[in-house]
Amino acid sequence: MPIFDQGYQHWKGHLSGHGWRWLAIARHGVRIGLQGRVFRIVLLVSLLPALVLATVLSIWSLIERKSDLVGPIVQFLSSMQILSPTVAADPRQYRLEVWTLCYNYFFSTELTLSMILIVLVGPNLISQDLRFNALPLYLSRPLRRIDYLGGKLGVIGAFLGLAIIVPCLVTYALGLLFSLDVTIVRDTYRLLLASVAYGLVIIVCSGMLILALSSLSRNSRYVALFWVSIWIVGGLASTILEGVYYGQVAASQMSRPPEMPRGRDARRRMTPADLEKQQNWAEDFQTRMAEASKTDWRPLISYTSNLSRIGRELLGTDAAWRKLSELQPAQMRGRVVASNAGPLYPWYWSAGVLAGLFVISVCVLSLSVRSLDRLR
């Protein structure tokens, strides 16, 4: 019987550089993620807002060209008071504002769908490797911890990038093609860069957080529960606290109403001075609510509110609403901005919260993965 050498056999093949070894883990994670039927359905649903965004920008581009194809649409929007006659007469003057609001609504919808995608694919990324004790195999040479974590983050990046970043690029190109006006690039290239940057913020912050949660438990159901608690419970707590806070602010303002005629025919007996007094009181009420929003820390409890605040700052949503409010009468402008703008607290508060969570996630991942990184 022949005896074979059982010793170490030197590898004579070609090894690729470390720079792309994470890609093998990412590809495997994407294949595993796509095997879930529910996940595929949610992924397809997450592409519907992109279809709506592409349709709206294409129609707007035709409106800028004064195309006869969208004439009935312009008349319908004008009759429903959705499209102002001033905007319809000179749509290019409001191109950036309309594009900004379209992208803002797109991201608002995609942010919720992204949270659902993450809860479906993220909890299993590291928890299953802990359950089956697969980390020693991953972290043996020639794979490093940064390659392993980069590959897991690449799984989140692939799916969220498909749902967020790719539609932004495709719809931007469609808007440019339908408009046939190269000045769109000059007017809106900052919006495109901001959209890509915001998408990367969502991917990196959310991806690192779900990976950190996934590394804390061998049971992916617990990880999913943690994520839902951060997402939904945090949002509900923030909403309740905001409602109580603004209710107190409104009650303090309501306790000092202007003196008005009372009785059944009070409306008829109101003088121009009374109407002006009531209007001033309403404007003062809006001002007080806006000032209260500038120092309101309660939205910081909600994870998605922090992401939304960063997105509004990057996209310039509030500036777009301020310009569009100029189409309304002077007494209505403040109300338009207040009803459409989000929280007015400084954006760097949310940036600080997200940065803190990112640092905590990195520390948790470093400690969780290093405990099994014994092969050098």
**For 164-202, how does the pLDDT look when each residue is reduced to its tens digit (9 = 90+)?**
999 999 999 988 888 877 888 888 999 999 999 999 999
* Predicted local distance difference test score (pLDDT) of residue 3: 54
Residues in Cβ contact with 316 at an 8 Å cutoff, skipping those fewer than 6 apart: 100, 191, 194
* Predicted local distance difference test score (pLDDT) of residue 283: 63
Mean pLDDT of 316-334: 80
Confidence of residue 140 (pLDDT cuts 50, 70, 90): low
* Cα–Cα distances in angstroms (integers) from residue 80 to residues 85, 181, 273, 352, 375, in the given order: 11, 28, 33, 42, 68
Proportion of the chain above pLDDT 90, given as a percent = 39
256 or 37: whose pLDDT is higher?
37
**Tokens standing for residue 372:** 């099994």
pLDDT value at 82 more than 50: yes
154 or 145: whose pLDDT is higher?
154
Mean pLDDT of 151-175: 93
**Tokens standing for residue 296:** 């309101």
CA distance 174 to 9: 56
Proportion of the chain above pLDDT 70, given as a percent = 81
How does the average pLDDT of the chain come out, rounded?
Answer: 82
pLDDT value at 150 more than 60: yes
| Prior bond of 142 cis (ω within 30°) | yes
Least confident of 79-93, 102-116, 265-279: 265-279
Q: Please, what is the Cα angle at 44 between 62 and 178, to 5 degrees?
A: 15
Global pTM value: 0.85
pLDDT value at 36 more than 50: yes
* Predicted local distance difference test score (pLDDT) of residue 359: 95
* Predicted local distance difference test score (pLDDT) of residue 260: 55
Task: Render the burial of 92-124: b for 16+ CB within 10 Å, e for the rest.
Answer: eebbbbbbbbbbbebbbbbbebbbbbbbbbbbb
**Tokens standing for residue 11:** 């590898």
pLDDT value at 222 more than 70: yes
User: In this structure, are residues 374 and 333 in contact, taking their beta carbons and an 8 Å threshold?
Assistant: no
* Predicted local distance difference test score (pLDDT) of residue 284: 65
> Which of 43, 35, 196, 183 is closest to 116 using CA atoms?
43
DSSP letter, residue 135? H
DSSP letter, residue 90? S
* Predicted local distance difference test score (pLDDT) of residue 12: 64
Confidence of residue 259 (pLDDT cuts 50, 70, 90): low
The owner of tokens 């820390």 is 297
Mean pLDDT of 249-273: 59
Confidence of residue 158 (pLDDT cuts 50, 70, 90): very high
**Tokens standing for residue 288:** 């007080």
CA distance 91 to 66: 9
The owner of tokens 């993620």 is 33
* Predicted local distance difference test score (pLDDT) of residue 376: 42
335 or 364: whose pLDDT is higher?
364
46 or 246: whose pLDDT is higher?
46
